[in-house]
Amino acid sequence: MPRTPASAKDVAELAGVSRAAVSRCFTPGASISPETRARILKAADTLGYQVNRLASGLIRNESGIVALISAEIATPYRAQLLAALTSALQKAGKVALVINTDRSDESVETALRQAISYRTDAAIFLSGMPARSLAETCQRNGMRLVLINREGQHPGSLIVRLPDEEAGRRAVSLLRAAGCRRLALASSLTGTPSLLGRETGFRAAAAEARIDWVEKRLGATSYETGLELGMALLTGPDRPDGIFCTTDLMACGIMDAARWRLGIRIPDALSIIGFDDIPQAGWEGYDLTTFRQPVDEIARQSVEWLLSDSGHDNPDALILQPHLSARGSLRQGFAPRGQGAS
């Protein structure tokens, strides 16, 4: 038969102390004599007692739980961000509840309703956007929202964004400085705010420079899509010699299509720039020049905002800067190898 977990009352009886003494023993900073603490801890160890943090938190009208709502959690960038967020939350004494979604509005709404049902203190969105009415329900229940690389503003929310259009513009300048004359923009059909921003910046800079360029958008944001993009862009008569790919994962696919399927040398015949700086970008087999997302800073600032005591009636916005990781996929001469601030 399942055994009922030991309660604070059980510990108090075994230790011969009051229930209040047990509570003080497990409350940081509370006053209790060393002798009494030792008796209580010995009794707790004997009974296998564990403090019910959830129950004690709910008495204070907080659960200590923060929901992380995300799609594509297995992709390198998303896995990096989830790891940074869960680490920052744990250091802050919070518990992360990861809810895996697809990108549909229905899936995101279901995830947020799950978070509300668990009395979470906050939700951090890495994918999708909550409906305004549902976000307002969260605010009325004292639940804060952080929207990472999302669009839109809700009361009681923090928007964390990067200047994606600026990165797209800079990619054009870097490719031109590397001697590229026929440029290409490679992206997916996902249409997230971040990808659209990078695409918009690239198009604007290419148009202003009056240079030849082509654009190809296919499928999901994946390595396999990168392979398809590489074959589609690099087998025509007007093959580009410089490509900006809106994510590293697709850029890795393009590089493999170029080198192993088509025999194109990188960076001699083709320069490539990505975005995210996933771990694979630094592997010797890719050595990809890319814009690094400040993942640790995104996590730190998000958690600090959630823990702050300031009012959150109005939406806040935080713009963080990416940094350039200059590597071997871009012809040299424009900047020293290594990392430099954008």
* More confidently predicted of 4 and 229: 229
Closest listed residue to residue 275, CA positions, set 257, 252, 255, 300: 252
pLDDT of 64 over the 50 cut: yes
pLDDT (0 to 100) of residue 266:
96
pLDDT of 180 over the 90 cut: yes
β-strand 242-245 against 182-187: which pairing, if any?
A: parallel
Give the tens place of pLDDT for each residue, 132-163: 777 777 777 778 889 998 876 676 789 999 99
Which pTM does this prediction carry? 0.80
Locate 112 and state its tokens: 């947020």
Locate 15 and state its tokens: 């230790």
pLDDT of 58 over the 60 cut: no
Report how far residue 342's alpha carbon sits from residue 324's, in angstroms, rounded to the nearest whole number. 6
Sheet holding 316-319, edge to edge: 95-100, 65-70, 122-125, 144-148, 157-161, 316-319
pLDDT of 115 over the 60 cut: yes
At residue 172 the predicted structure's pLDDT band, cuts being 50, 70 and 90, is very high
pLDDT (0 to 100) of residue 333:
59
Give the three-state DSSP class for 146: strand
- Range from 35-49, 180-194, 253-267 carrying the lowest mean pLDDT: 35-49
Nearby residues of 17 by Cβ (< 8 Å), 6 or more positions away? 36, 39, 40
Report how far residue 146's alpha carbon sits from residue 157's, in angstroms, rounded to the nearest whole number. 6
Mean pLDDT across 54-70:
68
Mean pLDDT across 331-340:
54
Q: What is the pLDDT of the chain when averaged over all its residues?
A: 87
Where do the domains of the chain lie?
Answer: 8-51, 65-161+295-321, 164-288+327-341
Helices (H) and strands (E) in the chain, counts: 12, 13
β-strand 65-70 against 95-100: which pairing, if any?
A: parallel
pLDDT of 340 over the 60 cut: no
pLDDT (0 to 100) of residue 207:
95
For helices 223-234 and 248-256, the axis angle rounded to 10 degrees is 50
pLDDT (0 to 100) of residue 132:
74
Largest Cα span, the chain? 87
CATH 1.10.260.40 fits 8-51, yes or no: yes
At residue 208 the predicted structure's pLDDT band, cuts being 50, 70 and 90, is very high
Percent of the chain at pLDDT > 90 equals 54
Specify the residue for token string 């549909």. Answer: 104
pLDDT of 7 over the 60 cut: yes
Mean pLDDT across 244-260:
97
Q: What is the CATH number of domain 164-288+327-341?
A: 3.40.50.2300
* More confidently predicted of 91 and 57: 91
CATH 3.40.50.300 fits 65-161+295-321, yes or no: no
Fold match, 65-161+295-321 / 164-288+327-341: yes
Give the tens place of pLDDT for each residue, 73-84: 999 999 999 999
Mean pLDDT across 312-322:
80
- Range from 46-50, 219-223, 268-272, 301-305 carrying the lowest mean pLDDT: 46-50
At residue 226 the predicted structure's pLDDT band, cuts being 50, 70 and 90, is very high
pLDDT (0 to 100) of residue 337:
45
